[in-house]
C-alpha cells in the first residue's frame, strides 16, 4: 500500500516566458494524515509549490521537469484572499456546492452542510449572505466548504494573511477542529510559525525556489535555529531587536483633523476619529479589529475619500484633501492601499519605482518582471517604493507588512525610519503589533461605530 | 394547505404574464383588466412572499413611467380636441389616452415582478434549469458564481478609482474600466481554480436546491395565464382591442 498522497521527485517548474525556474529540484513526499508547514522568504516560491501540491498547476502555462504524483482522491484548497474563496451568495449555497458532489442523495446534503459548518465553528445563520461576512468569517466558511468533501488533503495558502489577531486565532482554531476530527493531511503555507506550531509536525522551508530545510518542526526549531533566522523565517521567540522609534519629531503640523467622522460608502457604518495633529517626522498607527474603519480612516486622511463629517487639513493647503487634483495630492500625501495590485500602471517593475527605492526595500534584480507577477509581499514593497519615490510629506500605509519575511520586514522598517528621519510623516493602519511598536510614536485605536 | 414556499419558477411565470399579454394590444383597458385581477390573484396565492419594492426600484419605476408618459403626452398621435400646442408639442384628447395607456402598461408589467422579486431564488431557478436540462450544469453554476461577483466587481471599480488617485493619476472612466476588467479577469481565473477543485466539473451533482413544482405552484401558473388570456378576450369582446401588430 502506498504511503504517499503527494510526491515530487527532482521536480522543477518554470513559467512560460520566464528566464529561470521558479521551483528547482524539489523532492518531497506527503503522507496521509501528515501536517506540514511550508514557510520561507517572501517570493521564494511557496505559493507556487502549494498550488502544485493541490494540483492547481496550469500545464499550458508552465514547463515541468521531473516527476509529480498526486494520489489524493479528494483535495481541498483555501487561498489567501477571503473574497476569492467565496463563490456563492449564501453560506448554504457555498457549502452545498461541495456537499452536492460528495454525497449520493440530495437528502444527505443538508446533514453534510451542517457537519462541515459545525466542524469549522461557523455559527452564522445558514442562509446568511456571504457578501456581509468579515474576512475571518469568510475564511472559516471556506474551510467548512473545503471540509464538506471530507478531503484526503487540505491545502491552505496563508489563510490568515489579511486578518487581525483575533480573526487569525479563530481561523487557526477552525483548522484545528476540522483536522482533529478527520484523517486529512494538512499542508499550510504561513510566515507565522508561532500561530500554527501546535497544529503541524513537519516544516519545509522554501528559499529561492529550492527546499532549504525539511524535517520535524520541533527538531528543526531546536537544531536549525540559526539557519532559519538567516533565511528570514519568523522564528518563535526570535525577532531582531526593534527599539521603539524615539527619534525627535519636528515642530510643524503637516496634517490635522477636526471632529472627523469617516464612512466608506452610503449606508455603511460611520466611525469617529480622535483629533489628530500629525507632525513632520512623526508616525501614527491606527489599530483595531477587521471592520473597525482603519482602511476608511486612512483613505479619508489620504484624500481618497471625502469625510462623512468634520475636516482634514494639510499643511499650506486651503483646499480639502479629497478635492485636490491627483497630481498635487501625491506630492503631499501618498497612499499605499492594502491590495497594491489595483494601483500598478506600468508593465515592468523597473518602470514602477526607481532602482534605489526598490533596493532600499529589498527588491533587487526583477526590473523586467511584471508587477502583478510578484508575490504578495513583494508587490507591497514595490508599491511603497513607488510612493516614496514621489517624496510625499505624508505617507499613508495600509497593512504594509502583510506577506513579509523577517528580512524584508526589517528592510521595510529601516526604509520607513529613514523616511521619518528625512522629515516625512507616516499614518499606518496595521494588525502587526511589532511594526506598530517599532515605528509609531502614537497609536489611535478604533472601536465601535457610531 | 401546503405551507411550503412558492417555487421561483412559478413566481417568474406569474409575474411575466403581463409582459407577454400586453404585447398584442395597445389599448388603455387591457392593463386594467389584466393588472388588477392578476395582482390580486398573486397576492391571494402567495401572500407570504409579497414585499414592498425598494426605494431605488420605485425611483426607477417612477422615472420610467414619467418619462414615457410625458413623451407620449407631448409628442403622441394627435386625436380629438387639441388642448395645448407649443412648437412640436401637442396635447390632445388622443395623446392623453395614449399617455395614460403607456404609463399603465409599464406599471402593470413592472409591479408584479417588483412585488415578488425578493422571493425569487436565482439558485432555485438555475438548479431547475440544470435538472430539467434547459441549461448545462456548468452554465447554471457559472451564472450563479457570476451573480456573486457583481458586488465584488463594483467594489473593484471603487478600489481602482482610488488606487489611481493614490498614484497621482486623474480619474479617467475608460482607464478605470480597463484596469477593473483586467483585475476581474485575473480574479475570475483564480476563482475558477477554487471552483474546479471544489467540483465545478463533476457530473455527479445532486442539486439539493432543486424541487418539483407543487399544486399551489401549478395553480399560480395556470391561473395567471388564464387571467392574461381572459383579459385579452374581454378587451376584444368590448371592441376596444387596438392591435399592436399592424
Residues of A numbered 381-400 whose beta carbons fall under 8 angstroms of chain B's beta carbons: which are they? Answer: 386-387, 390
Contact of A334 with chain B, judged by CB distance below 8 Å, is answered with: yes
Contacts of A199 (CB under 8 A, 6+ apart): A35, A172, A175, A176, A179, A186, A188
Query: ipTM score here?
Result: 0.84
Q: Which of B57, B12, B14, B6 is nearest to B223 (CA)?
A: B14
Residue among A326, A341, A342 minimizing CB distance to B170: A326
- Residue A245 Cα, gap to closest chain B Cα (Å): 27
Contact of A205 with chain B, judged by CB distance below 8 Å, is answered with: no
Residue B1 has pLDDT above 50, yes or no: no
Does B244 map to a domain? no
Q: What is the pLDDT of residue B204?
A: 83
**Pairing of β A62-70 and β A75-78:** unpaired
Interface touch A109/B147, C-beta < 8 Å: no
Question: And the C-alpha cell for A241?
Answer: 531587536
Q: What is the pLDDT of residue A104?
A: 85
- Both B113 and B226 in one domain: the answer is yes
- Both B112 and B54 in one domain: the answer is yes
Residue among B162, B193, B204 minimizing CB distance to A299: B162
Does A427 map to a domain? yes
Q: Please give the Cα distance from A45 to A375 (Å, whole number).
A: 8
Q: Which of A254, A244, A178 is nearest to A439 (CA)?
A: A244
Does B67 map to a domain? yes
CB burial readout B206-243, b (16+ within 10 A) else e: bbbbbbeeeebbeebbebbbebbeebbeebeeeeebee
Chain B: which residues have CB within 8 Å of chain A?
Answer: 122-123, 141, 144-145, 147-148, 151-152, 156, 158-160, 162-171, 179, 183, 186-187, 190-191, 193-195, 197-199, 202, 204-210
- Both B97 and B216 in one domain: the answer is yes
Interface touch B198/A76, C-beta < 8 Å: yes
Cell 467622522 locates to: A261
CA B137 to chain centre: 24
- Both B90 and B174 in one domain: the answer is no
Does A386 map to a domain? yes
pLDDT tens-digit series, residues B231-243? 999 999 998 887 7
- Both B163 and B227 in one domain: the answer is no
CATH (domain of A398): 3.40.50.300
The SS3 call for residue B114 is helix
Contact of A302 with chain B, judged by CB distance below 8 Å, is answered with: yes
This prediction has a pTM of: 0.81
- Both A426 and A326 in one domain: the answer is yes
Domain span including residue B38: 8-121+211-238
Q: Please give the Cα distance from B132 to A290 (Å, whole number).
A: 43
Residue among B141, B152, B168 minimizing CB distance to A326: B168
- Both B24 and B111 in one domain: the answer is yes
- Both B192 and B226 in one domain: the answer is no
Residue among B165, B179, B202 minimizing CB distance to A326: B165
Residue among A99, A334, A342 minimizing CB distance to B159: A342
Cell 503522507 locates to: A31
Residue in chain A closest to B179 (alpha carbons) equals A342
Cα A132-A137-A138 angle, rounded to 5 deg: 75
Contact of A251 with chain B, judged by CB distance below 8 Å, is answered with: no
- C-alpha distances out from residue B179 to A192, A340, A341, B157, Å: 33, 13, 10, 9
Q: What are phi and psi of A205, to 5 degrees?
A: -105, 125
Does B117 map to a domain? yes
Q: Please give the Cα distance from A64 to B7 (Å, whole number).
A: 50
Does B246 map to a domain? no
Does B3 map to a domain? no
Cell 487639513 locates to: A313
Contact of A79 with chain B, judged by CB distance below 8 Å, is answered with: yes
Domain span including residue A34: 6-230
Interface touch B170/A325, C-beta < 8 Å: yes
Q: Which residues of A touch B186 (CB under 8 A)?
A: 372
- Both B146 and B107 in one domain: the answer is no
Does B243 map to a domain? no
Does A242 map to a domain? no
Interface touch A145/B198, C-beta < 8 Å: yes
Does A300 map to a domain? yes
- Both A29 and A174 in one domain: the answer is yes
- Both A349 and A390 in one domain: the answer is yes
Does A167 map to a domain? yes
pLDDT along chain A (450 residues), means of 10: 82 88 94 94 90 89 92 90 89 94 89 91 89 84 92 92 81 88 90 90 95 95 92 80 64 92 85 92 89 89 96 92 95 93 89 94 87 88 96 95 90 94 94 90 84
- Both A324 and A206 in one domain: the answer is no
- Both B34 and B109 in one domain: the answer is yes
Contact of A76 with chain B, judged by CB distance below 8 Å, is answered with: yes
Residue in chain B closest to A105 (alpha carbons) equals B206
Interface touch A88/B190, C-beta < 8 Å: no
Q: What is the pLDDT of residue A66?
A: 94
- Both B41 and B139 in one domain: the answer is no
Q: Which residues of A touch B205 (CB under 8 A)?
A: 100-101
Q: Which of A212, A274, A284, A280 is nearest to A252 (CA)?
A: A280
User: How many of the other CB atoms lie within 10 Å of CB of A277?
Assistant: 12
- Both B165 and B179 in one domain: the answer is yes
Please count the structural domains in chain A. 2
The SS3 call for residue B166 is helix
CB burial readout B36-70, b (16+ within 10 A) else e: ebbbebbeebbeebeeebeeeeeeebeeebeeebe
Does B2 map to a domain? no
- Residue B224 Cα, gap to closest chain A Cα (Å): 30
Does B1 map to a domain? no
- Residue A307 Cα, gap to closest chain B Cα (Å): 14
Interface touch A337/B204, C-beta < 8 Å: no
Question: And the C-alpha cell for A115?
Answer: 457537519
Q: Which of B112, B137, B142, B123 is nearest to B9 (CA)?
A: B123
Q: Which residues of A touch B165 (CB under 8 A)?
A: 303-304, 326, 329
Confidence category of residue B203, pLDDT binned at 50, 70, 90: confident
Q: Are A280 and A250 in contact (CB under 8 A)?
A: yes
- Both A88 and A133 in one domain: the answer is yes
Q: What is the pLDDT of residue A1?
A: 44
Q: How high does pLDDT run on average in chain B?
A: 89
Interface touch A97/B141, C-beta < 8 Å: yes
Residue of A82 and B230 predicted with greater confidence: B230
Question: And the C-alpha cell for B158?
Answer: 471603487
pLDDT tens-digit series, residues B151-198? 889 989 999 999 999 999 988 999 999 989 988 888 888 899 899 999
- Both A68 and A148 in one domain: the answer is yes
Residue of A171 and B3 predicted with greater confidence: A171
- Both B83 and B172 in one domain: the answer is no
Amino acid at each position: 500500500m502506498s504511503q504517499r498522497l503527494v510526491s515530487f521527485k527532482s521536480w522543477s517548474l518554470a513559467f512560460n516566458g520566464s528566464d529561470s525556474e521558479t521551483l528547482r529540484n524539489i523532492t518531497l513526499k506527503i503522507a496521509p494524515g501528515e501536517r506540514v508547514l511550508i514557510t520561507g522568504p517572501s517570493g521564494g516560491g511557496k505559493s507556487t509549490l502549494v498550488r502544485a501540491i493541490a494540483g492547481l498547476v496550469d500545464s499550458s502555462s508552465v514547463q515541468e521537469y521531473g516527476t509529480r504524483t498526486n494520489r489524493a482522491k479528494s483535495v481541498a484548497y483555501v487561498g489567501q484572499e477571503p473574497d476569492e474563496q467565496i463563490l456563492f451568495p449564501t453560506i448554504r449555497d457555498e457549502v452545498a456546492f461541495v456537499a452536492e458532489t460528495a454525497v449520493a442523495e440530495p437528502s444527505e446534503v443538508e446533514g453534510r452542510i451542517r457537519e462541515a459548518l459545525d466542524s469549522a465553528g461557523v455559527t452564522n445563520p445558514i442562509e446568511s449572505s456571504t457578501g456581509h461576512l468579515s474576512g475571518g468569517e469568510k475564511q472559516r466558511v471556506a474551510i467548512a466548504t473545503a471540509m464538506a468533501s471530507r478531503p484526503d488533503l487540505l491545502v491552505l495558502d496563508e489563510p490568515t494573511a489579511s486578518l487581525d489577531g483575533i480573526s487569525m486565532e479563530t481561523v487557526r482554531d477552525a483548522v484545528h477542529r476540522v483536522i482533529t476530527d478527520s484523517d486529512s493531511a494538512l499542508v499550510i503555507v504561513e510566515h507565522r510559525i508561532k500561530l500554527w506550531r501546535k497544529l503541524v509536525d513537519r516544516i519545509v522551508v522554501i528559499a529561492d525556489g529550492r527546499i532549504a530545510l525539511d524535517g520535524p518542526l520541533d527538531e528543526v526549531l531546536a537544531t536549525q535555529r540559526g539557519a532559519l533566522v538567516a533565511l528570514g523565517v519568523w522564528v518563535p521567540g526570535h525577532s531582531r531587536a526593534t527599539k521603539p522609534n524615539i527619534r525627535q519629531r519636528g515642530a510643524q503640523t503637516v496634517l490635522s483633523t477636526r471632529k472627523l467622522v469617516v464612512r466608506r460608502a452610503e449606508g455603511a457604518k460611520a466611525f469617529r476619529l480622535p483629533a489628530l495633529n500629525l507632525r513632520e517626522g512623526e508616525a501614527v498607527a491606527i489599530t483595531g479589529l477587521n471592520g473597525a474603519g482603519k482602511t476608511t480612516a486612512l483613505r479619508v486622511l489620504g484624500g481618497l475619500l471625502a469625510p462623512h463629517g468634520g475636516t482634514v487639513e494639510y499643511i499650506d493647503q486651503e483646499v480639502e484633501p479629497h478635492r485636490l487634483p491627483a497630481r498635487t495630492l501625491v506630492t503631499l500625501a501618498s497612499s499605499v492601499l492594502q491590495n497594491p495590485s489595483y494601483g500598478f500602471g506600468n508593465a515592468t517593475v523597473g518602470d514602477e519605482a526607481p532602482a534605489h527605492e526598490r533596493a532600499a526595500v529589498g527588491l533587487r534584480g526583477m526590473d523586467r518582471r511584471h508587477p502583478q507577477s510578484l508575490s504578495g509581499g513583494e508587490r507591497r514593497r514595490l508599491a511603497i517604493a513607488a510612493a516614496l519615490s514621489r517624496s510625499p510629506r505624508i505617507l499613508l500605509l495600509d497593512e504594509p507588512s502583510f506577506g513579509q519575511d523577517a528580512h524584508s520586514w526589517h528592510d521595510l522598517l529601516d526604509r520607513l525610519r529613514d523616511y521619518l528621519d528625512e522629515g516625512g510623516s507616516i499614518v499606518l493602519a496595521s494588525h502587526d503589533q511589532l511594526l506598530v511598536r517599532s515605528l509609531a510614536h502614537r497609536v489611535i485605536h478604533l472601536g465601535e461605530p457610531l | 394547505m401546503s405551507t411550503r414556499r412558492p417555487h421561483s419558477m412559478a413566481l417568474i411565470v406569474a409575474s411575466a404574464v403581463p409582459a407577454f399579454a400586453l404585447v398584442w394590444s395597445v389599448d388603455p383597458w387591457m392593463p386594467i383588466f389584466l393588472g388588477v385581477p392578476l395582482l390580486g390573484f398573486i397576492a391571494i396565492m402567495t401572500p407570504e412572499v409579497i414585499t414592498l419594492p425598494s426605494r431605488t426600484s420605485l425611483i426607477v419605476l417612477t422615472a420610467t413611467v414619467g418619462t414615457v408618459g410625458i413623451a407620449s403626452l407631448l409628442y403622441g398621435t394627435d386625436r380629438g380636441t387639441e388642448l395645448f400646442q407649443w412648437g412640436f408639442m401637442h396635447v390632445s384628447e388622443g395623446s392623453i389616452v395614449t399617455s395614460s395607456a403607456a404609463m399603465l402598461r409599464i406599471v402593470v408589467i413592472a409591479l408584479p415582478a417588483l412585488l415578488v422579486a425578493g422571493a425569487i431564488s436565482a439558485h432555485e431557478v438555475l438548479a431547475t434549469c440544470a435538472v430539467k436540462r434547459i441549461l448545462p450544469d456548468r452554465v447554471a453554476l457559472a451564472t450563479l458564481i457570476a451573480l456573486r461577483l457583481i458586488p465584488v466587481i463594483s467594489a473593484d471599480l471603487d478600489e481602482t478609482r482610488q488606487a489611481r488617485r493614490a498614484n497621482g493619476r486623474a480619474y479617467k472612466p475608460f482607464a478605470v474600466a480597463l484596469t477593473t476588467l483586467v483585475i476581474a479577469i485575473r480574479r475570475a481565473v483564480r476563482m475558477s481554480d477554487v471552483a474546479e477543485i471544489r467540483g465545478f466539473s463533476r457530473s455527479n451533482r445532486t442539486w439539493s436546491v432543486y424541487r418539483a413544482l407543487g399544486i399551489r405552484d401549478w395553480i399560480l401558473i395556470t391561473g395567471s395565464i388564464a387571467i392574461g388570456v381572459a383579459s385579452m378576450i374581454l378587451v376584444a369582446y368590448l371592441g376596444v382591442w387596438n392591435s399592436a401588430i399592424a
